[in-house]
């Protein structure tokens, strides 16, 4: 079997696409499938727009007869997995600087990528529809394969004992959780506003993730008078422990092709709420899907769950069961079927 080359510019242990690729690579190793991961050889201090151009030269000039399964927008893919969504749609939602050269370069590469790929994998129906509606790509050229995860053993007491030593939390407290980097797009401001409106003032809310402008959100929690309830942890290696001790995972993102964190939170027995602008909302019951990041009608549902322990536990157990349908092995099986058609 020919070697499959997986293309991803960045090598980042906190990035969603990078985490997915790491899981996929491990599963391929278990199946003894020949593959290599190709990352950028260029230094990170270069501007992002220049790195995007140089990485395209790196992979396209050395392609020859290699089979490329790309997770990045490049001009020479065989199969493209559109895990980053549609940049043109993203720009219509998020107001970005017109002077940033990265955006026109991404738009150019995105159009090339969609048109030149022999086949496209979308990680949600939302993204598939965006590709069709934005670039006129035939639906026959695109299939939806949701992200996959590995189930892990849950040891609540171990996780609680560990985190309670670091943070002021009690076992009877309800815990809300947000996990993600890039707070503006992923709705941390709205997360804080929702926390401020919840009836249970004794709860704790953890915000886990990297943010260069974190002082803004810390000041906002002060203004909302919830600074005693909200803990900003920064990026963590032990994020699984936070999932384990949490009751409700709230992710009011503005745009997300399919966030891994939704599946992860489900697998660790969290009640999960997110927006319909997140492709992962397709695997949730409609009661847990916000119309947008400012849809505060979700407050009544969260309040009800926090008051009713039996209903909350039932939702948490159901989510873990539902998450088992989205294993990395199932994702790999469907992905390999497509690869083998074009390899």
Query: How would DSSP label each residue in 119-168?
Result: EEEESSHHHHHHHHHHH---GGGEEE----B------HHHHHHHHHHHS-
- Interatomic CA distance for residues 93 and 106, integer angstroms: 16
At residue 182's C-alpha, the angle toward residues 158 and 5, to 5°, is 85
The domains located in the chain, with CATH, are 4-148+327-342 (3.40.50.2000), 156-323 (3.40.50.2000)
Lookup: tokens for 37 = 């991961």
One digit per residue, the tens of pLDDT, for the chain of length 343 reads: 689 999 999 887 667 788 888 888 888 888 888 999 999 999 999 999 999 999 999 999 999 999 999 999 999 999 999 999 999 999 988 877 778 899 999 999 999 999 999 999 999 999 999 999 999 999 999 999 999 999 999 999 999 999 999 998 998 899 999 999 989 999 999 999 999 999 999 999 999 999 999 999 999 999 999 999 999 999 999 999 999 999 999 999 999 999 999 999 999 999 999 999 999 999 999 999 999 999 999 999 999 999 999 999 999 999 999 999 999 999 999 999 999 999 8
Residue 264 and residue 241 in contact, taking contact as beta carbons nearer than 8 Å: no
Q: How much is the pTM?
A: 0.93
Query: 3-class DSSP state for residue 78?
Result: coil
| Closest C-alpha among 128, 130, 115, 48 to residue 75 | 115
Lookup: tokens for 70 = 């790309």
- Interatomic CA distance for residues 211 and 242, integer angstroms: 18
Contacts of 80 (CB under 8 A, 6+ apart): 70, 73, 74, 113, 114, 117, 119, 120, 121
Residue 6 and residue 25 in contact, taking contact as beta carbons nearer than 8 Å: yes
Backbone angles phi, psi at 45, to 5 degrees: -75, -15
Query: Quick one: 106 exposed, middle or buried, by C-beta within 10 A (0-12, 13-18, 19+)?
Result: buried
């Amino acid at each position: 079997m020919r070697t499959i080359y997986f293309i991803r510019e960045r090598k980042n242990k906190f990035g969603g696409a990078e985490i997915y690729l790491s899981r996929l690579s491990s599963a391929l190793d278990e199946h003894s499938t020949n593959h290599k991961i190709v990352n950028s050889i260029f230094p990170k201090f270069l501007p992002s727009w220049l790195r995007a151009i140089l990485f395209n030269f790196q992979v396209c000039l050395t392609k020859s007869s290699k089979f490329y399964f790309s997770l990045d927008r490049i001009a020479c893919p065989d199969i493209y997995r559109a895990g980053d969504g549609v940049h043109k749609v993203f720009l219509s939602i998020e107001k970005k600087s017109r002077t940033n050269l990265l955006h026109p370069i991404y738009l150019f590469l995105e159009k090339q990528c969609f048109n030149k790929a022999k086949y496209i994998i979308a990680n949600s129906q939302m993204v598939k529809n965006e590709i069709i509606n934005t670039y006129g790509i035939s639906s026959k050229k695109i299939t939806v394969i949701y992200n996959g995860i590995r189930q892990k053993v849950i040891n609540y007491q171990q996780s609680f004992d560990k985190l309670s030593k670091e943070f002021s939390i009690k076992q009877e407290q309800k815990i809300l959780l947000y996990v993600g980097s890039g707070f503006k797009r992923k709705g941390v401001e709205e997360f804080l506003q929702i926390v401020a409106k919840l009836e249970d003032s004794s709860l704790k809310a953890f915000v886990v993730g990297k943010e260069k402008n974190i002082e803004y959100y810390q000041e906002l929690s002060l203004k909302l008078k919830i600074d005693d309830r909200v803990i900003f942890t920064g990026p963590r290696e032990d994020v699984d422990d936070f999932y384990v001790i949490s009751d409700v995972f709230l992710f009011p993102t503005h745009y997300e092709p399919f966030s891994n964190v939704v599946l992860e939170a489900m697998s660790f027995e969290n009640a999960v709420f997110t927006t319909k602008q997140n492709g992962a909302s397709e695997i949730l019951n409609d009661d847990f899907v916000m119309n947008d990041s400012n849809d505060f009608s979700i407050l009544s549902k969260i309040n009800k769950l926090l008051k009713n322990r039996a209903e909350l536990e039932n939702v948490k157990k159901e989510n873990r069961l539902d998450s088992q349908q989205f294993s990395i092995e199932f994702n790999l099986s469907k992905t390999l079927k497509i690869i083998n058609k074009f390899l």
